[in-house]
Copies of this chain bind each other. A is one copy, B any other.
Amino acid sequence: MLAYPAALLNLDLIILDPLPNAPSKQVLNHSEHLSGSFTDAQAIAELASKVDILTVEIEHINTDALEAARSSSGGRSVDVQPAPSTLRTIQDKFLQKQWLEAKSIPVAPFQSVDGTESAILAAGKQLGYPFMLKTRKLAYDGRGNFVVRSQEDAQEALKALGCGNGEKETLYAEKWVPFTKEVAVMVVRGKNGEVRSYPPVETIHRNSICHLVFAPLRATDQGVLQRAKEMAEKAVATFEGAGVFGVEMFLTSDGSLSINEIAPRPHNSGHYTIEACECSQYENHLRAILGLPLGSTKLKVPSAVMVNLLGPPAVDEVANNALHIPGATVHLYGKAESRPGRKMGHVTIVGSSDAEVRARVRPLLLQLGHPQDPSYGEISKAKGGDFGSGSGPKKSSKYPLVGIIMGSDSDLPVMRDAATILDGFGIEYELTIVSAHRTPERLVNYANSAASRGLRVIIAGAGGAAHLPGMVASMTSLPVIGVPVRGSSLDGVDSLYSIVQMPRGIPVATVAINNSTNAGLLAARIIGTSIPPLLERVSAYSKRLENEVMGKVSKLEEVGWEAYVVKK
């Protein structure tokens, strides 16, 4: 994945990998690629002798050899990025946690554990059960991790982690974090210390291996995205050296974040950046270590998902299936042998909305099985179709683009027309009651979280002293459409004036009294500005209206005006 951006920039890569036909060596022609272990000092020295700058895609590497290459006295010295000291800190997860804690970056409570049963029991007493027992080094993709659920697990844990004989400094324990979501942020750090982050994403693991990545992260608490970004940037800024870093975090139900671990390299949770961002994590890694200007980390599509393809079975079948999915790019790694749990490739799917991306990924997830897995129960229940089909029961979508809210259930007979229109266009929406006067706190929460939950438009209907649309508009930056609902006394003029006559600074897009059909259509037009095929559907809708009238013209001509019956 580094080879492609390297080729575009006319950079020569030489690759050290134990396998002679490693994926990276297949996709870049160079007669000097090396075969050898990442822990072999001599292999690293040989690589160093051939290059100007040396970087890593794995942290489980001989850092002494990197240090030697960098400071090779007398001989030729080589730039190593990120710094070997950074790799040394990060590759030992206990040191990594100590480092982060010392820099006041939130991590779960942890403590060193030597390879004895008594040490494990002491950790259990300190941290409570369950807790995580991990090897300090070489733990990844679930290897080297053990969940200690009770005192009885201690012996089994030692055995599972291969530490039955009481070695010191091989294990550590971590307090269990009851996370609601796992979040990852890719951060790129330039040679000059400049730090830029990609948007926070949600990662879903299965058997401790990254399974799905959804970009961008959606959160009911708007502040989560900003805090995740800041925490990741702050953490990466503490390390020496340039390159891309993957920062994995836990989000708990109270909205707090802590860092799980950091990878000093391009990371699985950043693969989506290849198709979804203005500059991929791989190109940015190259730019960073070369001292070139860092590339833009912005998403260039509204929504993306990445699915890992783990070996066997079905990798080829899933990949073939993915070729039928619009917006999907299949990445097969060309690994010779497929083993259970081995990453054989991935698929990234982009789309114009969360709903579309989830509808697109759904057939792959069903094919991959485990529909009982709660992590994507929601997805497998999602509606089909390009933007969601609207064929299911009339309920709120889990991934709405439009929020339809009303001050009271008595407004429903009016507001349902907006929902019907959105169903017709296949636009995902939610429909609920938010009363400005009776549920003011709910109003505040709804308006504040609307954008970070992925909504793009809010339709608010209210009658009488209709405050809902204007109050919502004052607490969100999204466009708010106001529907004046006719009450019992003033024929709806009270509602209309209450909604339309907003002060300068806070606009409400007001439609005609009781005309929530037009609110739905306006929402479709607004969302059509970012999903062009939708504008074509709006155009087809207008054409239908025209044809209906032309039908009446013909009928009037045919039967004459006296016999013509006006339908109510």
Seen from chain A, the residues whose Cβ lies within 8 Å of a Cβ on chain B are 3-4, 7-10, 25-30, 275, 278-279, 283, 287, 292-293, 295-296, 298-302, 323-324, 326-327, 329-332, 334, 350, 451, 456-457, 474, 477-479, 481, 496, 500-513, 515, 517-519, 521-522, 525-530, 532-533, 535-536, 538-539, 541-542, 545
Contacts of A293 in B (CB 8 A): 323-324
Question: Are A507 and B529 in touch, CB under 8 angstroms?
Answer: no
Q: Which residues of B contact A525 (CB under 8 A)?
A: 477-479, 507
Contacts of A529 in B (CB 8 A): 456-457, 478-479, 526-527, 529-530
Residue from B29, B474, B478, B538 within 8 A of A28 (CB atoms):
B29
| Residue in chain B with minimal CB distance to A520 | B507
The reply to whether A522 and B509 form a contact with Cβ atoms under 8 Å apart is yes
CB distance from A417 to the nearest CB of B (A): 8
Q: How far is the CA of A508 from the CA of B510 in the complex (A)?
A: 8
Given contacts A278-B326, A300-B327, A477-B535, contact A510 B511 (CB under 8 A): yes
Residue in A28, A30, A518 whose Cβ sees the most chain B Cβ within 10 Å: A518
Query: What are 21 inter-chain pairs, A to B, with CB distance below 8 A?
Result: A3-B27, A7-B27, A10-B334, A27-B28, A292-B323, A296-B326, A298-B327, A299-B532, A300-B301, A477-B528, A477-B536, A477-B542, A478-B529, A478-B535, A479-B509, A479-B525, A500-B510, A504-B517, A505-B545, A506-B542, A507-B519
State whether B542 touches A474 (Cβ < 8 A). Answer: yes
Contact in complex: A329, B542 (CB < 8 Å): no
For A530, list chain B residues within 8 Å (CB).
302, 529-530
Q: Please, which residue of chain B has its CB at the minimum distance from the CB of A320?
A: B292
CA distance A529 to B302 in the complex (A): 10
Query: Considering only CB atoms, which chain B residue lies closest to A455 in the complex?
Result: B529
Distance of A500 Cα from B518 Cα, bound (Å)? 10
Instruction: Please give, as numbers and ranges, the residues of chain B lying within 8 Å of A504 by CB-CB distance.
Output: 515, 517-518
Given contacts A8-B330, A477-B536, A510-B511, 14 further A-B contacts (CB under 8 A): A7-B26, A27-B27, A27-B29, A298-B327, A298-B533, A299-B532, A477-B525, A478-B529, A479-B528, A504-B518, A505-B517, A506-B518, A507-B525, A526-B526
Q: Which chain B positions have C-beta within 8 A of A481?
A: 509
Contact indicator B478/A507 (Cβ below 8 Å): no
Tell me whether B500 and A511 are in contact (CB under 8 A): yes
Question: Closest chain B residue to A322 by CB distance?
Answer: B293
Tell me the smallest distance from the CB of A424 to a CB of chain B, in Å. 12
In the complex, what residues of B have CB within 8 A of residue A508's CB?
511
Q: How distant is the Cα of A481 from the Cα of B508 in the complex, in angstroms?
A: 10
Q: How far is the CB of A346 from chain B (nearest CB, A)?
A: 10
Is B331 a contact partner of A8 (Cβ separation < 8 A)?
Answer: yes
Q: Measured between C-beta atoms, what is the minimum distance from A137 to chain B in Å?
A: 32
Are the CB atoms of B510 and A502 closer together than 8 Å? Answer: no
State the Cβ distance, A528 to closest chain B Cβ, in Å: 6
Q: Please measure, in the bound complex, the distance between the C-alpha atom of A229 and the C-alpha atom of B388, giving whole angstroms.
A: 27
